[in-house]
Structure 1
């Protein structure tokens, strides 16, 4: 499945060489969609308030273990259609900003990764 390509540095739309909005295809699109799910707060998506990471109730303002944070992020990544399993790697926490990588596996066993 194709998805709009998001610039990893800004997490904003990008343009391709012809000046059109850039798109990406599987397997990267699947990983990018999982990273987007990880960046989504529970209740933020107005058409489905049941998806997203429970940042307010479980993470922000609390002192959860790294295992709890990772479990919440993996659960969000695994809600993406086509993802059969996900792994999350935390690469840094600087000034209360969490960064990392999500690696997803699809039904064919393909593994792809995207940063969040």
Structure 2
């Protein structure tokens, strides 16, 4: 499996350029990790050509009573819809005092390469 994706800036999630001024790319485990994050940042209904993609952030999570188990399952489901992801394991920690959460998704791609992304 050869996976390649446009490189996104880790803070702004915008396209980046390489040293020659061309669109930068990433491949293999880095591309897989980046694609997993993109899938998990997608709101349900946001993709106009397939409104079944995404996580129900607005309808079932943000501002609603929910559990970390539900959020973890949603993150894992979105990661696993990518054909080159063999395994995905999400861990979410709720910060109730700050009304937020953080976590990680550990991914193994179909090449057997591991990567981890922070949320």
TM-score bin (small chain): 0.7 to 0.9
Q: Choose between structure 1 and 2: higher helix proportion.
A: 2
- Cα pair distance change 1:64/1:92, threshold 3 Å: closer
Partner of 1:77: 79
Give yes or no for contact 2:68–2:93 (8 Å, CA) kept in 1.
no
Q: Which has the higher contact order (CA 8 A, sep 6+)?
A: 1
Give yes or no for contact 1:78–1:86 (8 Å, CA) kept in 2.
yes
Unaligned runs of at least 5 residues, structure 1 = none
TM-score, normalised relative to structure 2? 0.84
Partner of 1:112: 115
- Cα pair distance change 1:6/1:101, threshold 3 Å: farther
**Corresponding residue SS for 2:38:** helix
Equivalenced residue count is 116
Higher Rg: 2
TM-score, normalised relative to structure 1? 0.86
Unaligned runs of at least 5 residues, structure 2 = none
RMSD: 2.0
**Corresponding residue SS for 1:3:** strand
